[in-house]
Structures are given as C-alpha cells and as structure tokens.
Chain A
Amino acid sequence: MTSSNNFQWRRDRDGLGVWEHRGKVAVVGYGHSPVDRRWDETKLDESLGAYTIMACEKAMEQAGVTIDQVDGIVCCDSHIAGGSGGTASQWAPRPYFDPPYDSEYGLTLINAQWLINTMGFNNVKFAPTGVPTIGEMVGMASQAVGDGVCSTCLVIYPTGNLEGRYRRGGENAEDYARGARQWTVPWGNHGGNDFINIFPHRQYLQKYGGEHDDLFHFVTNQHKNGMLTPWGYNATHNVQPISEEDYRGSRHILRPLRIWDCDRPVNASAAYLFTTAERAQDLKSQPVYVLNHSQHNFRFRTTQPDLDEVEMWTDQQAARMYEGAGLGPADVDIFNPYDGYSIMTQFFLEGFQWHGVKRGEALPFYAGDISVKGPHPFSSSGGNLGNGRTRTAMYTDSIEQLRGTAGDRQVTVRAETALCAFTTPSSGGWLMLGKYPS
C-alpha cells in the first residue's frame, strides 16, 4: 500500500513545456484544524493526530467524499518545533498513551499508514513514504491524479509544536558540530532559513537601497490579512495586528532580522483533497483547477547562498512555472508566496514579476497599497506571519479567492488564477491554480 517516493514525478527541470495535465486535476476540498500555539501534552483530542484527523474529515466533508472513495494519501511526517527541534523532536522518553497514541505517530509524527489504520481508509493504493514538505506534496498529488496513479488524493500537512524555546535543544545544545554543521555552526550559524536568507537580504539592501525596517509595510499587512482569516492563529487568538511602531521597536534575532520577521510556530494540521477535473464535476464543492506545479532543490555552490544565486534561482522558478502553466506574469491574479521569514518574500515577488515588480522594486511596492481591497493585494492569505506557521494559508487563500469565498479577504481585482507556494529560494515547490480549467 505504501511505497517509497522516487521523485520521478517531479517537474524540476527547465524546458518541460506546458504541463500535460493542465486543467485536468482539481482541488475540491480543504480542511483546517484549530491552530494552537502548542500541544498541551495532555489532551489527546488536541494532539497532532487528532487535529490531522479533523482536517481530513473537513476536507472530505467539503467535497462530499467518503473514506472509501479516497485512494491516495500524501502526508509528510510533520515539522515539529518546540524546544528540541531537528533530530531531537520526539515525545519519548515520556510515556506513550493508549492506541492510537502508543508511539510517536499521532503525537509528533503523522504518516499515511497511521491515518489508514486510525481513520479506516480501505481503498488507498497510493501512499508514498518519505514525502517532502507541502511545497512538493501538492505537486506530487497533482501529478499522481493526472497520471491516474490515484483518483482522489488527500494531501496532509501537520505542523507540531511542543513546549520549549524554539530549537534550543537537540544539536543546538551540543558542543560539537558534525556533518554539514561543521561548516556553519562553529561561527554561530545554527542553520535554518533565517540564516540562509538574511545574508542575501543584506546584500539586496546594499545593492538596491532601502532599509531593513521598510519591511514593516509588508509585515503589518500580513498581520491585517491574518485577522481576516477565520481559522488562523491570529484571528482565533485575537492577536491584534502590530503597528509600525511595534515592528520598529521589536527585538532583533539576527540583526537586522526582528522577531516580527519570523513566523510563529504552531500546533495544527491541514488537509487538501485533489481529484480529476472530470470527477470534480460530480462533487458538491466548487473545484479549482491545477494549471501547473513545479519543484526545485538548488545546490549551494559554497557555504552561503548570495544574492546572485537567490535571484538566479527565483528567476528559474518563475520561468518554469509560467512555461508549465502557459501563462505569464500579467496573467496571475492572486500571489501567495512563502513568508516564513519576511526577508525572503521579495525575492519571489521580483522573480515572478507579479504586478510588474522588477528586481530591486519590492520595498517601494510594499509601501504602496497592498491591502486585499486595493489594486495590488499581495499575499492576500496573510501567510505564516499573519496566521502562524501552518505553511498552508497560501494554498487555502488561493482556493478561496478563486471560489469567491474569501469573505473579508476577498480581493476586489480579478481572481481567476493564483500562484501559491511553500518554498524557500533554494528548495520547495509552486502550484498554479485556476478558476477555470483552461
């Protein structure tokens, strides 16, 4: 039932042409669990497993699909935060609970097999293991449905968070640096996308001008959009949007990176349901269509990626996505790039040239009207900065905008195509969605 992920499905090269399944695969449902700051480590109905089941049920319910109709499950284990982080993120040695919480699965990890056993899926024929993040998972499911490997596929993305300061334990508490860490940690770089992107960001400011704190326009707008996202952490916990003063007065992490440039780790899960465009016509939800997907995993040429590499990589991502979708920058209505650290988002905006923004023009663009009701509703989801680090707001907002169901976040400009992603400049994937199949 489960099989290893061989990566042959990826669209990760230049010049692949228009995606062969363009418009023939649809997203027909999504579901979000509550978004908590952390699991309290006692309530099993608020565990990562329980939340994942809840998200799956909501996604299926939205489309009117039953468990026996699901024949594909794409689920990555989880991305746990908490105090340990990295390789030390596990519940053990604390005692496990009664089944199905009698191992790490259901507590800090989720996979397809655990869901099959726990929820009773009985017709699953596609359940790959070793699945990467949601940035690639949505492409993997799209390709699988398009290829006929499965016809109704759940994509599930759990993000766990236990007690403790973010990743202060595990390898970061050790005196020695092994493997790839021997080249970074002795000087203080403990790894992560904050470090990877802060240097190109500094070079960006040196090359094009502007101040780091000019990002407040973008960050505060993400918080505003987050308050318009009913399921997100900020809206459900009444986290009032920060002001410019709040931003400028906040503490630095990796100066110039501030705390408000970083998303907030949460305990949550989300699920999306993919099927064929043909089958979507018989379901109760309004489908949106997959127009292309692409992936990338660019290799660093040296210790630290620089601005040249990051701009080259994001140019390449844009070229692949536009080619595969048969669209260009002017055709993209909704643009929801990844914003887990605010310092990387400008690279995507400029690489994809959304609303004509060229290299070096992001900061003035942010200073204009990027509100959801304005002419340039950039990152209408509120992203991870506005909703917590679910890494899924970009997808859900894109679906809702195309359906016209985004509520107070609904843009006033045309909403017929949407680009969304969980990706860093170096690795991840993009998804292009359309209101119409062609």
Chain B
Amino acid sequence: MPKVIPVPDELSQPFWQAVSEQRLVLQNCTACNKLQYPPQAACQVCGSADYLEWKEVEGKGHIATYIVIEDGRLNRRMLDQPYNLALVTLDLDPTVNFYSNLPGVPAYEVPVGAAVEVTFEEVAPGQLIHEWRVVE
C-alpha cells in the first residue's frame, strides 16, 4: 500500500524540495553548530532564527531500535501490517533521528545496531520521501 503523503508547508518546503531531488538537507544553526530535524521556526538551542540555514548532510546512520506495527490506526497502511518501524540515528549527530520502514527488511527481522543509508521512495507521482536501507 502507498504511504501517507506528506504535505509541505512554508517551513518544510525546502526540506521536501531537496528530498524530491534525492538530497537530505537539515536545518543547521551556524551560531550553535547544531543540526535539527524536523525543521523548526528557531534554533532549539539558542532560540534564534537568524542563524538557521539549510545544510546538506551525509545520509548515513544506524538503527537504534524498532517496533513492528501490527494493529495501527492508519487506514492507508492497514494492508501493510505487520511492518517495521525503526528509529534511525544520524551518524553526523546521533541526537537527530528519523523513522524508517526499512525497505527490504522483512518484518521482525530488524538488525538493531546495523548501519543504514538514506534512500528515497516515491509516495505520489513526482513526490519522494526519505527512507533508510541497511548497508550490506
């Protein structure tokens, strides 16, 4: 089943635009040298919006942990159940994390601790989302 389609807003538009170009960009506060995701109106450390910029980052991470959704509430994903939902930390800053369904990894067979890299998946014609796949 297709995933639920994210709707970009003013704040997130640059992020989703980059994803559609198969690039991973995160907000970075140049004053604090701190990445943040999801995007916010201001830096979560210094509270200023003046030093926020979009920075392309290397899409490498590790699987911190995972669950398997067996009885979720999303109508669009009912037929996918059971499916993995992993928590992926970014190598560049492990306090930044992402969700992933880990395409290619069978449900329940998630290698916790394994390295992953970003990939991109079409959820609507011409619209991509970021996903993560295990590095062999």
Contacts and interface: CB of A to CB of B under 8 A. Distances in A.
Q: Do A and B come from one complex?
A: yes
Interface of A: 166-168, 172-180, 182-190, 198-199, 202-203, 206, 251-257, 299, 301-304, 306
Contact of B123 (A186, A188, A257): A186
A257 B101 CA distance: 18
Contacts of B12: 182
B114 interface: no
Interface string B64-77: 11111111111111
A206 B87 CA distance: 14
Contacts of B73: 166-168, 172, 190
A255 B37 contact: no
30 contacts: A168-B73, A173-B75, A174-B4, A174-B76, A176-B4, A177-B7, A178-B9, A182-B9, A183-B6, A185-B4, A185-B74, A186-B3, A186-B5, A186-B6, A186-B123, A187-B85, A188-B69, A188-B101, A199-B67, A206-B112, A251-B71, A255-B69, A255-B70, A301-B36, A301-B95, A302-B95, A302-B97, A303-B97, A303-B98, A306-B97
A302 B36 contact: yes
Given A184-B99, A186-B129, A304-B97, A255 B68 contact: yes
A84 B24 CA distance: 35
B100 interface: yes
B30 to A, nearest CB: 18
B96 interface: yes
Interface residues of B, number: 42
B74 A306 contact: no
Interface string B55-66: 000000000111
Interface string B84-97: 01010000000111
B101 A187 contact: yes
B85 A189 contact: yes
Contact of A301 (B44, B87, B101, B108): B44
Contacts of A182: 6-9, 12, 38
